Amino acid sequence: MLATAVALTATSACGGGGDDAAGGDVLTLGYYAEAGGPADGTMRALVEEFTKANPGIKVKIETADYDEFYKRLRTQLAGGKAPDVWLSDGVLVQEFAGRNSLRDLTPYAAGLNLADYYGIDLIKKGDPQGRLFAFPQGAQSTALFYNKAIFAKAGVEPPTADWTYDDLLAAAKKLTRDTNGDGKTDIYGFRAHSPSFVESWWPMVKAFGGDVLADDGKIAIDSPQSRAAFTWMNRAMHEERAAPDPVTTEALGKSQILFPSGIVAMQFGIYARIQTAAQGKIDTGVVPLPKGPDGRRGDLANVNSWVINRAASEAKAESAWKWIKFFAGEGPQTKWMSIGEAIPINRKVAQSAAFLRPSTPPTDRKPFIDALDTADDLGLNPVWSEYTAAITKQVTGALSRRIGIDEALRTAQADAQAAIDRFRPAG
């Protein structure tokens, strides 16, 4: 299987670009979305609007669910058949840019006032030379979600922006309950562990003063600050039992359904989790992440972005840029905002009452904007998937108490740094 795949990709790797593949003057646009879901429907409507406004541009859509989209994209890129423009998960931009697959958008964006958009600096930070290899499409920052009904029932005061990690743990303990007396916990105060680490250990490490990838591009996870963060998590899960441990989290039905199912009263959640909380009919409130010992919150953001295939012709790149500009405009951003999937990257839309104070929960969404203003990126570089997997493996072992925190951090540091050191930039 691998032999055939490798041979086919190798045969075509050095050839062509997206140019011929796209066929004539058709702009190929790729994005990931659940087929027929609100994101897919809205994107198609916006494409229609765009082509009406630009009659000279025809658009061919290529879409699939997240996993399938990227699996296909990697093969398409190898074969010179990738879309001319595609929606990239923010954390993957540097993986493609570092391998010479993306156009530098800096000259295209020169005509825009970049201060009108969120996420520009976070994208630039990923490139050692500060180039703009992607343009924001929608942003995700993290906040503390809480279930108002569970708090009210337990008679616990809702969280505030002044909460510390001590406050979080104290409240989580009060909220943890065995409601039916069968000896098993039915409601946990907090979800501490999630495989989605932006909603779990990463902001905690930063809040406790540590870091994962330092500004010099070196791994920095093995530090006393990280140790303090993981010790806090283990205390919450294994000693106070106010949060499910990793095994229980999986057994309860995966980390992302715990809050919408009312199994946990609080979680760290990215903006998109509002959708799943709404599906569970949870009356959700959000506040900023709690403060660590030095008052840091460890805010992080991921900016999903449009990227242009380096192999696309000049004409197609121009059309692709028109699409990107169109999507960043007030009208399309307002429509995209309505599905609740991402924070608008257009500051005007993000500052509107429609976004900040909607009628559906959470009715105050300013914490996401505040977090976005001060957030750091997720340690972006060309081997992001590999080095974060190396850290996650060790961290999960430590949080499951299969290995000690010290050993986990030491190994994570070495393995993740080895992945970075192995990388040789393209060209």
Partner 1 sequence: MTQHTKEREGRREATPMPPPPDPRPAGSGHRAEKSWAVLFASPYLAHLVLLTAWPFLALTYLSFTDYDTLSSPNWIGLDNYTRLLRDEDFWNSLLNTGLFALIYVPLQTVLALVLAVGLNQRLRFMPLLRGAYFVPVVSSWVVVAYVADAVFNPRTGSANTVLGWFGIDPQTWLDSPALVIPTLALVAVWKGVGYMMVLFLAGLQSIPGELYEAAEMDGAGPVRRFWHITVPAVSGTTFLVLVLSTISVLQAFEQVYVMTGGEPGGASEVTVLYMYRQGFEYFQMGYAAAVAWVLFGITLVLTLFQLRLQRKWVHYA
Residues that bind partner 1 (CB under 8 A): 1-11, 13-14, 71, 74-75, 77-78, 95-96, 99-101, 184, 246-248, 250-252, 383, 385-386, 389, 393-394, 396-397, 400, 402, 419, 424, 426-427
| Beta carbons within 8 Å of 55's beta carbon, 6+ residues apart | none
Q: Which is nearer to partner 1, 24 or 425 (CB)?
A: 425
Contact assessment for residue 50 and residue 324, using Cβ atoms and an 8 Å cutoff? no
Nearest CB to partner 1, comparing residues 72 and 348: 72
Of 253 and 329, nearer to partner 1 (C-beta) is 253
Burial 184-213 (b: 16+ CB within 10 A, else e): ebebbbbbbbbeebbbbbbbbbbbbbbbbb
Rounded Cα–Cα distance for residues 18 and 315 (Å): 12
CB of 150 to partner 1, least distance (A): 20
Kindly state the smallest distance separating residue 399's Cβ from partner 1, in Å: 10
Q: Are residues 26 and 60 in contact, defined by beta-carbon separation less than 8 angstroms?
A: yes
Minimum CB distance to partner 1, residue 25 (Å): 26
CA dist 375 and 300 (Å) reads 5
CB 98 within 8 A of CB 382: yes
Taking each helix axis from N to C end, the angle separating 384-399 and 224-234, rounded to the nearest 10 degrees, works out to: 50
CB of 397 to partner 1, least distance (A): 4
Least Å distance between CB 83 and partner 1?
15
The span from the CA of 11 to the CA of 13, in Å, is: 6
Which one, 111 or 183, has the nearer CB to partner 1? 183
Q: Which is nearer to partner 1, 9 or 352 (CB)?
A: 9
Three-state SS for 385?
A: helix
Rounded Cα distance between 336 and 22, Å, is 26
Supply the minimum distance, in Å, between the C-beta of residue 9 and partner 1.
5
Closest to partner 1 by CB, 168 vs 419, is 419
